[in-house]
Chains A and B, each alone.
Chain A
Amino acid sequence: MWKREDAKSQGVAENSSVASGFGKSQSFDSSNSFSDSSRSAATIGQGIRIKGEVSGTEDLFVDGFVEGKLNLAADCCLTVGPNGNVKADLVAREIVVRGKVEGKVIARDKLQIGSTGEITGEVQTGRLVIEDGATLRGTVEAGRMEVSKADTKAVAAAATSTANKPSPQPTVLGSGTAAH
Chain B
Amino acid sequence: MSFLNKLGIGVGGPRTTQGARHEVSGPIHLTSRARTPGAPAPQAGPSRGAVEGESNRLSNGLKELLWNLDGLERGTLLDLGPAWQTTLSFFIERGFRVSSEDILFAWKSFLNEEEARLKQDFAAGETLEMTPSARATRFMKENLQYSRSSFDAVLLWDLLDYLEQALVKQVVASLTELLRPGGVVFAMFHSKKPEGFQRYRVVNSNTLQMVPTAVLCPPQRVYQNREIQDLFGRYRTMKSFIGRDQLRETLFIK
A interface residue numbers (CB < 8 A to B): 1-2, 6, 9-10, 12, 15-16, 19, 113, 128-132, 134-143
Q: Is B204 an interface residue (CB 8 A)?
A: yes
Q: Is B128 an interface residue (CB 8 A)?
A: no
- A136 adjacent to B85 (CB under 8 Å): no
- A140 adjacent to B86 (CB under 8 Å): no
- A132 adjacent to B92 (CB under 8 Å): no
The binding surface of chain B is classed by DSSP as mixed
B contacts with A, residue count (CB < 8 A): 23
Cross-interface CB contact of A10 among B86, B98, B99, B102, cutoff 8 Å: B86
Cross-interface CB contact of A139 among B53, B85, B98, cutoff 8 Å: B98
Interface positions of B from 97 to 140, Cβ below 8 Å from A: 97-102, 105-106
- B84 adjacent to A130 (CB under 8 Å): yes
**What are 29 A-B residue pairs whose CB atoms fall within 8 Å in the complex?**
A2-B56, A2-B203, A10-B86, A10-B89, A10-B90, A12-B86, A15-B85, A16-B85, A128-B88, A128-B89, A129-B85, A130-B85, A131-B85, A132-B84, A134-B83, A135-B105, A136-B83, A137-B100, A137-B101, A137-B106, A138-B99, A138-B101, A139-B97, A139-B98, A139-B99, A140-B92, A140-B99, A140-B100, A143-B92
- A2 adjacent to B54 (CB under 8 Å): yes
B100 / chain A contacts, CB cutoff of 8 Å: 136-140
Task: Name the residue on A nearest B54 (C-beta).
Answer: A2
A16 / chain B contacts, CB cutoff of 8 Å: 85
B204 / chain A contacts, CB cutoff of 8 Å: 9-10
| Chain A nearest CB, measured from B1 CB (Å) | 43
A19 / chain B contacts, CB cutoff of 8 Å: 85
Bound: A28/B237 CA distance, A: 52
Cross-interface CB contact of B88 among A9, A132, A140, cutoff 8 Å: A140
Task: Name the residue on A nearest B83 (C-beta).
Answer: A136
A6 / chain B contacts, CB cutoff of 8 Å: 86, 203
Task: Name the residue on A nearest B87 (C-beta).
Answer: A130
Known: A10-B204, A130-B88. 4 other contacts (CB 8 A): A2-B56, A128-B85, A134-B83, A140-B88
Q: Is B209 an interface residue (CB 8 A)?
A: yes
Bound: A173/B99 CA distance, A: 34
B101 / chain A contacts, CB cutoff of 8 Å: 137-138
Bound: A10/B89 CA distance, A: 9
| Chain B nearest CB, measured from A7 CB (Å) | 9
A130 / chain B contacts, CB cutoff of 8 Å: 83-85, 88
- B203 adjacent to A128 (CB under 8 Å): no
B54 / chain A contacts, CB cutoff of 8 Å: 1-2
